[in-house]
Structure 1
Amino acid sequence: MSAPTALPYVAHVARDEVIQHAAVRLVGVTKTFGSVTAVDDLDLEIRDGEFFSMLGPSGSGKTTVLRMIAGFEAPTSGRVFLGGVDVTREAPFNRDVNTVFQDYALFPHMDVLTNVEYGLRVKKVPRGERRERALAALDTVRLTGYADRRPTQLSGGQRQRVALARALVNRPKVLLLDEPLGALDLKLRREMQIELKQIQREVGITFCFVTHDQEEALTMSDRIAVFNHGRVEQVATPTELYEAPQSSFVAGFVGTSNLLTGADARAVFGREGTFSIRPEKVQLDEDAGGPPKASGVVQAVVYLGSVNHYLVELDGGSTLTVLRQNLHGTADQALGRRGERVDLTWADEHVIDLGTEAGSPAAGVPAEEGGIP
């Protein structure tokens, strides 16, 4: 890769007391590809030792940001700091980071131990030391006893752990993970989410994780940055993002949300604006603890095993999703409620006022990217 061109000095980066406490800091970073702006004037700080996730749909700029932190892409403008040091012009091998990719990129002709040792061999670490460090890394990722196996003899989850060990053995200041769980099946992916967070706590390294899966981000992260069209909509803890989204995009992308605006908002809330309410906060008539806030007809029931999603068309024409746990009754009873008239209610404190946004850019996000199933 060619070296980045000289970049103009950005005046507001001279906050040394702040920069030195951040594992990663991006200041005014923009990346364009021809006429396309992939990242737009981004300021972002990742704290030392935290599990930080960059969440967003395809094309939102999150992977481009990861590649600029790693040094695989040079910013068009702006600066990249690692541990308070400006690395904007530094090559990838001069940055104290390692990257784990989705495809793992293990060498099939090498056994597990040799794969893990590879980076240390390139750095000319003595054989005894690299063997000791590689075995310790395998122990960290719960693969003690697998050193002699080939990648083809491992499950998907085990290969993912080998790739993680290969990155950890170099003891990087920051570990970058580009959707490393994307190739795993759902059950294994959920197991690995817990494992990955436990490993991060044990090793104490800053993890920067890229994903389009909001469940992954909510499960593992200390903080999450939600990306949309090259910009960050909100940076917050998982709880803050879910309970107090700052935009209709965040409300619709992080978890499942009912978004009402325009005439729909006036019909339900009696005033202008954009409002959000989570499906689990809405109660059907028999669960209601107060007078109904809205009424309508059940148009569809989505049976999901432990829960059901009821799609209720309100008298005003809008549709709300209601989530109800299957504590009583059968699936047939739930599915039999199609066409039934119901009253809905909720607590006023569960309604999130998003101001006067014109609409919901996330309302049509498909289920696998955080929208309503």
Structure 2
Amino acid sequence: MIDMSPNQAPTLAEKTAPAETTSAIRLRGLRKEFGSVVAVEGVDLDIAQGEFFSMLGPSGSGKTTVLRMIAGFELPTSGTVELAGRDVTRLAPFERDVNTVFQDYALFPHMTVQQNVEYGLRVKKVPRAQRRERAREALRTVHLEGFESRKPTQLSGGQRQRVALARALVNRPKVLLLDEPLGALDLKLRHAMQTELKQIQRDVGITFIFVTHDQDEALTMSDRIAVFNTGGIEQVGTPSEVYEKPATAFVAGFVGTSNLLSGDSAEAVLGTRGVFSIRPEKIRIDPDLSQPAAVGEVSATGTVTSTSYAGATVRYVVALDVGGQLSVVRQNAGAPLELADNRVRLCWRQEHNFRITE
């Protein structure tokens, strides 16, 4: 952002900067029923001011329904939704200081970019000169200066996504809700927009609540993540907490790839019973069975049953002699190891065993 002298008007970031308060969003006992189907049950959640917060989960896990209840598009069967300390549970969407960006962007094809961004202000009867300036400011924020006169059909997917974002930001909401807004983009553009969207959030300083089923997307962009499953939250934490210390077997399996050791296999390898998560990239694979584990490491022997080459990495699946199997990811810093059907020793550090609940 460019520094301004004291005589200049405040920037969009300054206008939308959150006031000092407890939480941007506070959910308590949130439940939603659709007939006999319980889509959301017992969700309690606090989202801080200025936080980039992601709701991550598979289809049908309840994350989008929670987002729609925050937006006011769905009314809870029970429970409360608070926005900056104000109970908005029964208020209509236009009575809440939030805006939503959808996956399909919902731009008006007959309007220019400028007109699309101005539309919400026009409905609110903001004077023409003021709404024009605010729209241009929002377009500068998303790096679309010079695109004001174009129609949506003349834009790329990433540009249309940024127009939808500018249209939401121009209203200066306290909270911006994003319902899988990158889902329609190709992989390369999606990765580029992840970085750009996070930077925009930092620039404007408002709370973003981002719904996605893409684990890499959530890990890349979020300050914190709530992992949803069957209508409830399995874990809330920073990306590193959710990945390195999964609270449940579901989180370990859904967020990235994880090995689970349990029962007799865990006792044979780790010397204790329980369910333990070990990430594949933490494991070292060695075709020399005579090479012992280092101090502070545990080890297991087995046979490589499959090898998958993925360019930068190779994934090996190893059937353990004590039962069960482990996946190993090895960086291709040199030539890939040709280990199909080979006997190998797997070693990893003790601290990379993380006990989880089933």
Task: Name the CA shift for 1:241/1:144 in 2 (closer, same or farther; >3 Å).
Answer: same
2:25 matched to which residue of 1? 24
1:43 matched to which residue of 2? 44
Give CA deviations for 1:106-133 in whole Å, capped at 9, x if unaligned.
1111111111111111111111111101
Give CA deviations for 1:265-300 in whole Å, capped at 9, x if unaligned.
233323321000011110011697627611111111
Query: What are the residue-to-residue correspondences of 1:280-359 with 2, within 5 Å?
Result: 280-285=281-286, 290=294, 293-329=299-335, 333-334=336-337, 336-355=338-357, 357=358
Q: Whole-Å Cα distance in 2 between the matches of residues 274 and 171 of structure 1?
A: 47
1:269 matched to which residue of 2? 270
Q: Is contact 1:38–1:230 with CA below 8 Å preserved after alignment?
A: yes
Q: Is contact 2:53–2:223 with CA below 8 Å preserved after alignment?
A: yes
Q: Which amino acid aligns with 2:283?
A: V
Q: Which amino acid aligns with 1:350?
A: H
Give CA deviations for 1:95-150 in whole Å, capped at 9, x if unaligned.
00000000001111111111111111111111111110111111100111111111
Query: What are the residue-to-residue correspondences of 1:1-373 with 2, within 5 Å?
Result: 20-285=21-286, 290=294, 293-329=299-335, 333-334=336-337, 336-355=338-357, 357=358
Q: Whole-Å Cα distance in 1 between the matches of residues 242 and 310 of structure 2?
A: 24
Q: Whole-Å Cα distance in 2 between the matches of residues 263 and 152 of structure 1?
A: 60
> What secondary structure sits across from 2:24 in the alignment?
strand
Q: Is contact 1:174–1:205 with CA below 8 Å preserved after alignment?
A: yes
> What secondary structure sits across from 1:268 in the alignment?
helix
CA RMSD of aligned residues (A): 1.6
- Number of equivalent positions: 334
Give unmatched runs, 5+ long, in structure 1: 1-18, 358-373
Q: Is contact 1:25–1:81 with CA below 8 Å preserved after alignment?
A: yes
Q: Whole-Å Cα distance in 2 between the matches of residues 262 and 56 of structure 1?
A: 28
> What secondary structure sits across from 1:338 in the alignment?
coil
TM normalised by structure 2 equals 0.90
Give CA deviations for 1:213-250 in whole Å, capped at 9, x if unaligned.
11111111111111111111111111111111211111
Identity %: 68
Q: Whole-Å Cα distance in 1 between the matches of residues 176 and 63 of structure 2?
A: 15
Q: Is contact 1:276–1:352 with CA below 8 Å preserved after alignment?
A: yes
TM normalised by structure 1 equals 0.87
> What secondary structure sits across from 1:57 in the alignment?
coil
How far did 1:264 drift?
A: 2.9
> What secondary structure sits across from 1:105 in the alignment?
coil
Q: Whole-Å Cα distance in 2 between the matches of residues 56 and 300 of structure 1?
A: 29
Q: Whole-Å Cα distance in 1 between the matches of residues 354 and 169 of structure 2?
A: 41
Q: Whole-Å Cα distance in 2 between the matches of residues 54 and 171 of structure 1?
A: 22
Query: Which aligned runs of 4 or more in structure 1 are off by greater than 3 angstroms?
Result: 286-289
Q: Whole-Å Cα distance in 2 between the matches of residues 119 and 168 of structure 1?
A: 10
Q: Is contact 1:299–1:338 with CA below 8 Å preserved after alignment?
A: yes
Q: Which amino acid aligns with 1:184?
A: L
How far did 1:354 drift?
A: 1.5
Q: Whole-Å Cα distance in 2 between the matches of residues 203 and 292 of structure 1?
A: 48
Q: Which amino acid aligns with 2:217?
A: E
